Amino acid sequence: MDQALAAAPGSLLCFEDEAGMAGAAAQAAGLTLAVIERHRFPDGELRLRLPESLPPRVVFWRGLHQPNEKLVELLLAGQTARQLGALHLTLVAPYLAYMRQDIAFNPGEAVSQRIVGGFLASLFDAVITVDPHLHRVATLEEAVPVKDAIVLSGAPLLADFIASQRRGVLLIGPDEESWQWVAQAAQRHGWESGVCRKTRHGDRQVDIQLPDLPFAGRAVVLMDDVASSGHTVAQAARLLKAAGAASVDVAVTHALFAAGAVQLIREAGAGQIWSTDCIPHASNAVSIVPVVVQALGQLQRSAPIASQGAARA
């Protein structure tokens, strides 16, 4: 493990469960990979061990699905990295948690986006994420107030993959919020597109209304940023099949997929399910590593260490 903890100029730190993906990114970006040692005590507390010294520029790779314990990891690791010599810290979080709740819908509710966003901004100088689930907040900088808040999208990657699998695609979003990703992907390949109207009655109860488009005989692909319980996608797939679609496939950036979600979607008539590897899942079809590496390179050129260190000091 001592060899894994050895650090050199330009390091990418990760935990063992993400070492494969982070290692590919580190190699492509010319960064040295270091795997953080992680020990859990019998009472549930964590002990982390980073390299004994760190270069001025450090990248943390941590996807924030199942986020609660991972946020504690970032707190411990981020503050320790500063003590060990890091001047500029970048968080690569392919999935960024707690972005849904941007207002208090009922008195006394915690506005988790503001709280978690502020917490991350206290630890990192830059954040790179993919298709954050933002509603009433227009930019990632508003949610996570760091100097460099970089948003990448899985929609073009999924669109290119879909184009290799299906011809004459009709691209449909399962609700109005999916329009930004559907429009981006459809424009890329000149596909006809539309979005459904959704009325939510609970976490697992939704009503869907299809757009006024001809579905009979068409190869329809449902696209969204995230699929969790699967109920919205399943309801849309069921309606599309009833409307005569020749095939209904599903493409999502973040394959959260709660227990039973994939089975629910397939029973509704969906065929293939494709996702990016933002969240490890059997449906992963395209990798975000190349676009993350590109973003890291651009960030390095645009954020000199000297000015960043001076600004934080």
275 phi and psi angles, rounded to 5 deg = -145, 165
Annotated catalytic residue 70: no
Q: How many Å apart are CA 32 and CA 114, to the nearest integer?
A: 33
Distances (CA, A) of 8 to 37, 90, 290: 17, 16, 22
> Which residue carries 């964590």 as its tokens?
46
Give the number of residues written for the chain: 313
115: left (phi over 0), alpha (psi -120 to 50) or beta: alpha
Residues 6+ apart with CB under 8 A from 265: 227, 230, 233, 234, 237, 250, 273
Residues 6+ apart with CB under 8 A from 97: 64, 65, 67, 71, 116
- Nearest-CA neighbor of 94 among 70, 121, 112, 119? 70
Residues marked as catalytic? 198
